[in-house]
């Protein structure tokens, strides 16, 4: 059954939510901690359950193409859900932007990074972590920043690439890289930086990180999938996302 509008999606979710179900949701790596927080409220309020599969957006896309049993995709970009719709692997009319992410240059060391990101030009570090730009939107954004600043050729020999932005974060957190481009949501919660130092990258230096969710064909009759997609638009969900540094569309 195709859902032709968000209004009908919400109504449908309400009609069938009387029976608790489980949604298998593919979640972009930058949304790992926010999704964990979101699911506390979702499971409490809806009675449904969720199983999360984490990965880079590109890897999740490949898994969906290969028949992975996922009901919902919470992506780190808008292009991948749109592509899934065009390939008829997602339900038309269900794609929605749940948040706009922010890219940061982060170090686990306090005072290592200045507020303007001038450390990138300093040459005082050996390794710069980033997610694979071919499969991870935050990695692609990081490359755009370096190109915009005219630093790609200078910095590329120092790159340490992770499969996802979660792995890029681990490189920095473990000390294997002094600096790294990661998602604000990985280092920020409740209005403050959890540790280390960072540069909040101006959005003018890279393409917008509009993050979309979409209902996959497998989930079109799954009450939990429909309910979670609707929950992402709720005031409660938006409050959680803002606490992790996401901006609202």
Per-residue pLDDT of the chain (249 residues; tens, 9 = 90+): 334 444 444 444 444 444 789 999 999 999 999 999 999 999 999 999 999 999 999 999 999 999 999 999 999 999 999 999 999 999 999 999 999 999 999 999 999 999 999 999 998 999 999 999 999 999 999 999 999 999 999 999 999 999 999 999 999 999 999 999 999 999 998 989 999 999 999 999 999 999 999 999 999 999 999 999 999 999 999 999 999 999 999
Classify strands 179-183 and 128-131 as parallel, antiparallel or unpaired. Answer: parallel
Phi-psi region of 33 (alpha: psi -120 to 50; beta: other; left: phi over 0): alpha
| CATH number where 158 lies | 3.40.190.10
Q: Does residue 69 sit in the same domain as residue 186?
A: no
Q: Does residue 79 sit in the same domain as residue 111?
A: no
Q: Does residue 130 sit in the same domain as residue 91?
A: no
- Sheet order of strands, 209-215 included: 49-55, 22-28, 72-74, 209-215, 96-101
- Residue 187 CB neighbours (<10 A): 25
Q: Does residue 21 sit in the same domain as residue 90?
A: yes
Neighbouring-strand partners of residue 214: 73
Range of the domain at 132: 103-200
Q: Does residue 163 sit in the same domain as residue 222?
A: no
- Whether 248 is covered by a domain: the verdict is no
Q: Does residue 133 sit in the same domain as residue 191?
A: yes
Neighbouring-strand partners of residue 54: 27
Tally the domains of the chain.
2
3 state SS of 144 = helix
Q: Does residue 63 sit in the same domain as residue 91?
A: yes
Q: Does residue 41 sit in the same domain as residue 110?
A: no
Q: Does residue 118 sit in the same domain as residue 143?
A: yes
Q: Does residue 174 sit in the same domain as residue 107?
A: yes
- Whether 249 is covered by a domain: the verdict is no
Q: Does residue 19 sit in the same domain as residue 88?
A: yes
Q: Does residue 175 sit in the same domain as residue 54?
A: no
Q: Tell me whether residue 97 is exposed, middle or buried, using C-beta atoms within 10 angstroms of its C-beta: 0 to 12, 13 to 18, 19 or more.
A: middle
């Amino acid at each position: 059954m195709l859902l032709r509008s968000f209004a009908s999606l919400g109504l449908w979710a309400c009609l069938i939510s009387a029976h608790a179900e489980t949604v298998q949701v593919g979640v972009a790596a930058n949304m790992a901690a926010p999704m964990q927080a979101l699911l506390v409220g979702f499971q409490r309020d809806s009675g449904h359950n969720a199983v999360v599969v984490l990965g880079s957006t590109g890897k999740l896309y490949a898994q969906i193409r290969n028949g992975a049993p996922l009901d919902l995709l919470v992506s780190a970009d808008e292009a991948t859900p749109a592509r899934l719709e065009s390939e008829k692997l997602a339900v038309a009319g269900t794609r929605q932007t749940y948040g706009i992410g922010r890219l940061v240059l982060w170090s686990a060391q306090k005072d290592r990074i200045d507020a303007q990101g001038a450390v990138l030009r300093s040459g005082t570090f050996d390794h710069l972590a980033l997610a694979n730009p071919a499969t991870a939107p935050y990695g692609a954004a990081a490359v755009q920043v370096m190109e915009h600043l005219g630093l790609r050729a200078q910095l590329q020999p120092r790159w340490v690439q992770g499969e996802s932005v979660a792995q890029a974060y681990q490189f920095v957190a473990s000390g294997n890289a002094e600096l790294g481009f990661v998602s604000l949501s990985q280092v920020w919660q409740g209005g403050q930086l959890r540790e280390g130092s960072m540069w909040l990258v101006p959005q003018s230096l890279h393409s917008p990180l509009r993050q979309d969710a979409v209902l996959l064909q497998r989930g079109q009759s799954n009450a939990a999938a429909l309910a979670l997609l609707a929950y992402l638009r709720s005031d409660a969900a938006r409050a959680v996302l803002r606490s992790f540094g996401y901006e609202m569309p």
